[in-house]
Amino acid sequence: MSRFSAPIAEQIWDMKYRFRAADGTPEDGSVEDTWRRIARDLASVETDSARWEEKFYGALEDFRFLPAGRIIAGAGTARQVTLFNCFVMGTIPDSMDGIFSALREAALTMQQGGGIGYDFSTIRPKGAEVRGVAADASGPLSFMDVWDAMCRTIMSAGSRRGAMMATMRCDHPDIEEFIAVKSDPARLRMFNLSVLVTDAFMEAVKSDAPWTLQFDGRVYRTLPARDLWNRMMRATYDYAEPGVIFIDRINAMNNLAYCETISATNPCGEQPLPPYGACLLGSVNLARLVAEPFEEGAHLDEEALDDLVATAVRMMDNVVDISKFPLPEQRAEAQAKRRIGLGVTGLADALLMMGLRYGSEEAARQSGRWLRRVARAAYLASVRLAREKGAFPLFDADAFLMSGTMQKMDDDVRDQVREHGIRNALLTSIAPTGTISLYAGNVSSGIEPVFAYAYKRKVLQKDGSRSEEEVVDYAVQMWRDLKGDAPLPDHFVNAQTLTPAEHVRMQAAAQEWVDSSISKTINCPEDIAFDAFKDVYLQAWDSGCKGCTTYRPNDVTGSVLSVSEEKDAAPAVVASGMGEPREPHSDVIYMADPLDRPQALEGNTYKLKWPDSEHAIYVTINDIIISGRRRPFEVFINSKNMEHFAWTVALTRMISAVFRRGGDVSFVVEELKAVFDPRGGAWIKGKYIPSILALIGGVIEQHMIAIGFLEGEGLGLKNDPQALAMAAGEGAPGAVCPSCGQFGMRMIEGCMTCPSCGYSRCS
């Protein structure tokens, strides 16, 4: 009998976590094999490995403990990838050599699958003097563009783009440019941005005091703090960035304040880390621990929670020893402090099973109690590990116990830490769990509310036809299984019906017992007034949060996924302007499998000439017509220059394979045009082309424009389905997922996430 409670869970496992040989043959015959592989590898460093393998397997069984995706996919595979999710890179030196050395380290880290954070406050502002070369500095934003280009060309762990976080202090002279940069939709697309907000700045905002922008002891200008705050808020209101990190609060509460200073976080913000800091993640699935769900006696099995947390801490501590690291500095940092980030998922579902309304004061109190129990169990388990294996190398009892987190910890925990030490410097974090929550049966993500009780997931077939399957929230499915057709109780609420204040209340309740930070999105309605929106951030500050991320859907950020809680709602239709109604999105076809090639196709051949090259390159692009619309189907690249043979054949096969999968394949153009030849590019027809590959990308782009697939250079799909739907009075269906091609990307846990396949831009 399958362990999976929903079809999508098995699909996620098969697609993302199932170990396969190099030729694609499955090595994991079942999800039980996956659990066994992970348990065996994590127990390999134990003296009694057989005993701990069984204990670890029991924790993984039935999706009770969910290690982060990198651990599920990588543990026990012997692949040269890191099992750590989060990295903050070293401090960027304010010199050309130091900056590009830091760029190289970032590339190596992303290549192994790590998401990275950087503080760009250390780079001198734009216009500052560069001594010795009689020039002015170009500023940190110009170097962020270089990082952005690098990230676009690195495949993270061979499967997805790297994710990056950039931070800048609120007193840096270029902070205004940093705040406004996302108003250009083509710039810094690979970055999440957050402002490091200090206590002094928040006090200046509240008192309407002046604020000084300075660097290296030099004052550049002074402006009203509220003006800068309003600029920050306006950018976030319009573009969903930058986020806000209360950096002084983070450092004050840090267990390791005595030996490190934090100035950046990982891409989703749940892990504030020092230079070269690294952290791994895992989540306890609270939805699997509720006994007697939806009954009068519904309760969380707290003894089972304690035991599961203790086992999870030991498993994660072992990951520190078995994981690969991109850089030796990261290994040294991780082993000196043995940071882990244990969190929870399924919290909203657990509350629903207990009859509590997410966002209510009672739900916040219950969440706080659960997370306090998690923290207590985690710290006690780490103390027991310290007695057995030793405390983390930089442990200093007096300094550690004086930290903000430890000062509020229970006295018996403090006494044990003082007597025996502690194995892990920090233990708790609430991380994004979009994909692993789907893998666990579509439980609610992290501490987020349920986004939708159910939604339709389109599965498109080889012939372009569509089939649909319903994806149901775990708690809702359990209600149906237990109660049949009985209507959902009033306490069932979702992200669309909650107020921003209720979101803040839940985040603050969780933050009190999380020693790192929390990845959470505070959803705001599109029509929220700007002053009310600003107040959300002040509420977050006043209630003790370490940061704040909001999402307000609009024409720039995109709409959230449209959902209907009505089971039999009629399908929406959009007037096509051609006499017949049609389904939304029918002009862009996404295939689960590639289409078969017809006997004949129409196309065009383009002749390209690269300066100083003896032979021309010929690019042939053939098109297919689907639903009356023309789209690229295959590419052939030929040249008499045999030096080009291998890469042109490879490029032909790869691009054609992408085209035959369907969807918005215009990203192929972006990737090719972003390739820079280290030997230098060329000027062609008055335009600088950075490489031959970029030249080919430009030709493909022009072909897409000519056939009506693209609006124009650098623009999106022609007859974009979102624009058509909105023009016909429908809500925007949401952004297209670059992984599975389905509509409905939504902001969750601080990052755009796909509800259909779990793809996240930040992991």
Residue 754 lies in a domain: no
Asked if 546 and 628 sit in the same domain, the reply is no
The residues, any chain, with a CB within 8 Å of residue 73's CB and separated by 6 or more, are 16, 17, 19
The residues, any chain, with a CB within 8 Å of residue 599's CB and separated by 6 or more, are none
644 CB neighbour count, 10 Å cutoff: 18
Q: How many residues does the chain have?
A: 763
Asked if 610 and 533 sit in the same domain, the reply is no
**Looking at 85, 251, 255, 266, which residue is catalytic?**
266
Contact 489, 480 (CB under 8 A): no
Helix (H) or strand (E) run with residue 500 in it: helix 500-511
Asked if 138 and 217 sit in the same domain, the reply is yes
Instruction: Copy the structure tokens of residue 392.
Output: 């983390």
Burial call 664-688: b when 16+ CB within 10 Å, e when fewer: bbbebbebbbbbeeeeebbeeeeee
- Amino acid 375 reads A
Asked if 532 and 638 sit in the same domain, the reply is no
On the 0-12 / 13-18 / 19+ scale of CB atoms within 10 A, 49 is: middle
Instruction: Copy the structure tokens of residue 625.
Output: 């017509």
Q: How many whole angstroms separate alpha carbon 537 and alpha carbon 531? A: 11
Contact 498, 506 (CB under 8 A): no
The residues, any chain, with a CB within 8 Å of residue 595's CB and separated by 6 or more, are 462, 463, 464, 624, 633, 660, 662
pLDDT tens digits for 202-226? 999 999 999 999 999 999 999 999 9
The residues, any chain, with a CB within 8 Å of residue 320's CB and separated by 6 or more, are 280, 334, 335, 338, 340
Contact 590, 463 (CB under 8 A): no
Burial call 155-187: b when 16+ CB within 10 Å, e when fewer: ebbeeebbbbbbbbbbbbbbbbebbbbbeeeee
SS3 at position 463? coil
Distances (CA, A) of 719 to 576, 634, 707, 724, 726: 10, 22, 12, 7, 12
Asked if 540 and 607 sit in the same domain, the reply is no
Q: How many whole angstroms separate alpha carbon 552 and alpha carbon 605? A: 45
Q: Is 268 a catalytic residue?
A: yes
**Peptide bond preceding 242: is omega within 30 degrees of 0, i.e. cis?**
yes
pLDDT for position 554: 75
Helix (H) or strand (E) run with residue 212 in it: strand 210-215
Distances (CA, A) of 20 to 28, 224, 386, 722: 7, 58, 37, 37
Helix (H) or strand (E) run with residue 689 in it: strand 687-689
Asked if 541 and 635 sit in the same domain, the reply is no
Asked if 287 and 205 sit in the same domain, the reply is yes
Q: How many whole angstroms separate alpha carbon 240 and alpha carbon 194? A: 11
- The answer to whether the Cα torsion of 702, 708, 712, 713 is positive or negative is negative
Residue 536 lies in a domain: yes
Which of 485, 515, 550 represents a domain boundary (last residue)? Answer: 550
Which of 550, 585, 610 represents a domain boundary (last residue)? Answer: 550
Residue 567 lies in a domain: no
Residue 436 lies in a domain: yes
pLDDT for position 584: 32
Asked if 510 and 611 sit in the same domain, the reply is no
Q: Is 61 a catalytic residue?
A: no
pLDDT for position 586: 33
pLDDT for position 162: 60
Instruction: Give helix 49-60 / helix 302-322 axis angle, nearest 10°.
Output: 120
Q: In this structure, are strands 454-460 and 340-345 parallel, antiparallel, or unpaired?
A: unpaired
Asked if 412 and 515 sit in the same domain, the reply is yes
Contact 689, 610 (CB under 8 A): no
Residue 13 lies in a domain: no
CA atoms lying within 13 Å on the CB side of residue 250: 26
Asked if 546 and 610 sit in the same domain, the reply is no
Residue 762 lies in a domain: no
- Residue-number span of the structural domain to which 191 is assigned: 99-550
pLDDT for position 150: 83
Token look-up 């560069």 returns 130
pLDDT for position 472: 94
What CATH number is attached to the domain comprising 148? 3.20.70.20
pLDDT for position 476: 96
Asked if 535 and 614 sit in the same domain, the reply is no
Q: In this structure, are strands 581-582 and 574-575 parallel, antiparallel, or unpaired?
A: antiparallel
Q: Where are the beta strands (DSSP E) in 452-512?
A: 454-460, 466-472
pLDDT for position 555: 67
First to last CA, the chain: 32
Asked if 616 and 531 sit in the same domain, the reply is no
Count structural domains, the chain: 2
Q: How many whole angstroms separate alpha carbon 167 and alpha carbon 71? A: 27
Distances (CA, A) of 278 to 82, 252, 332, 624: 10, 20, 10, 47
Contact 636, 610 (CB under 8 A): no
Q: In this structure, are strands 155-156 and 135-136 parallel, antiparallel, or unpaired?
A: unpaired
| Mean pLDDT, each 10-residue run in order, the chain (763 residues) | 84 91 90 98 97 98 96 92 90 94 90 85 94 83 90 54 86 98 85 96 97 97 98 94 96 96 94 95 97 96 98 98 94 97 98 97 98 98 98 98 93 97 98 92 95 77 62 95 94 91 96 95 92 95 95 69 40 30 35 60 89 84 79 87 79 86 77 77 80 89 87 55 41 56 69 74 63
**Looking at 105, 241, 270, 634, which residue is catalytic?**
270
Residue 51 lies in a domain: no
Contact 299, 313 (CB under 8 A): no
**Looking at 86, 268, 737, 754, which residue is catalytic?**
268
The residues, any chain, with a CB within 8 Å of residue 625's CB and separated by 6 or more, are 631
Residue 8 lies in a domain: no
